[in-house]
Amino acid sequence: MPKVTEELKPRAFWSKFHEWLDEDNGLGKIVWWCSEFCKEAGYVRTGDAAPWSMVKKQVIEETMSPGLLLVANLLDQIKESTNGSGEEVFVTDVQLIQFIKDSLYEGRPNQFLERPMTVRKLAKNRGWFINDMPSQNGAFGGVGVRARLLFSGPTHYLTNPKVILEKGLKPFNINSLAKI
């Protein structure tokens, strides 16, 4: 994603730039640079996902709601806190929504509260693995709640939530982290 400056360049700058393009083989130099870059980074072909960049991340984060930004930072912090140990952990979409509700709305319902699917999509985009099977009624949330499990790694994410429950595995305690 190119970054464009809002600084207006003087006419002399553009005259010199176009002279470089037209008379100093500027376009050829750009093509050479692109081919050298692609030798290292590879080509982006039609249908490929756009490569990730800090600018792309910044643009995406600037469009996030306060709740999603809070969850994105929390998920990154969880991965960072467990990365050194190699331990894979999981959280639930319901748990993350409750975190937003508690952090931004003092536990009260709010019409702008994110939906579980939105939280799962964000987690997937941040490198988490989503178990698509809903948990048993109330197993990982309150009564009437069928939470989905979001794993920090690929080891258990395809495991039936019932088996996770039988093994006695519990979601990561997000309250164990410092306030974000």
Domain ranges, ordered by start, for the chain: 11-49, 56-176
> What pLDDT does 180 receive?
45
In angstroms, the CA 94 to CA 100 distance is 10
In angstroms, the CA 24 to CA 69 distance is 47
* Residues 143-180: tens digit of each pLDDT: 667 899 999 999 889 999 999 988 888 899 988 875 54
* Residues 86-134: tens digit of each pLDDT: 788 999 999 999 999 999 999 898 898 899 999 999 999 999 999 999 8
Residue found by looking up tokens 């997937």 in the block: 124
> What pLDDT does 56 receive?
79
User: In degrees rounded to 5, what are phi and psi of residue 92?
Assistant: -115, 155
Q: Provide the strand spans (E) within 32-117.
A: 90-92
Do the Cβ atoms of 86 and 154 come closer than 8 Å? Answer: no
In angstroms, the CA 150 to CA 166 distance is 17
> What pLDDT does 169 receive?
87
Q: Can you tell me the mean pLDDT for 36-42?
A: 84
